[in-house]
C-alpha cells in the first residue's frame, strides 16, 4: 500500500496521473494532518496551496510502484498492508 509523507508532498499530482488504479487524489490537507506538521512544513504547505495527495482508494493498489517513481518529492513509499 502506498504511504504519502505529508511533510514532503507538494500536491503536484504526478501520482494521480500515473496510477492505473485511481488510488490517489489531490486535495486540501486535512486540518488534523496540518496541525501535526512542524512550523517549516506548515509554511511549505501554505506555499503549495495546502494541496497534498491522499489515498482514498488504497485497497485498489497493486503495488506497481509507478507512483513512487513519478513523485518528484519522493513523498511516496510502498509498505506491506497489515491485517
The CATH number for 2-78, chosen from 3.40.50.720, 1.10.10.1100, 3.30.70.20, 3.40.50.12160, is: 3.30.70.20
pLDDT of residue 83: 57
Residue spans of the domains in the chain: they are 2-78
Average pLDDT, stretch 53-68?
96
pTM (2 d.p.): 0.90
- Within 10 angstroms of residue 83's Cβ, the number of other Cβ atoms is 2
Share of the chain above pLDDT 70, in %: 98
pLDDT in tens, 5-38: 999 999 999 999 999 999 999 999 999 999 999 9
Amino acid at each position: 500500500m502506498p504511504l504519502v509523507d505529508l511533510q514532503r508532498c507538494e500536491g503536484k499530482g504526478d501520482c494521480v496521473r500515473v496510477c492505473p488504479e485511481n488510488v490517489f487524489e489531490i486535495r486540501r490537507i486535512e486540518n488534523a494532518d496540518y496541525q501535526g506538521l512542524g512550523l517549516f512544513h506548515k509554511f511549505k504547505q501554505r506555499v503549495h496551496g495546502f494541496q497534498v495527495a491522499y489515498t482514498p482508494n488504497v485497497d485498489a493498489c497493486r503495488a506497481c510502484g509507478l507512483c513512487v517513481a513519478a513523485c518528484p518529492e519522493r513523498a511516496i513509499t510502498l509498505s506491506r498492508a497489515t491485517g
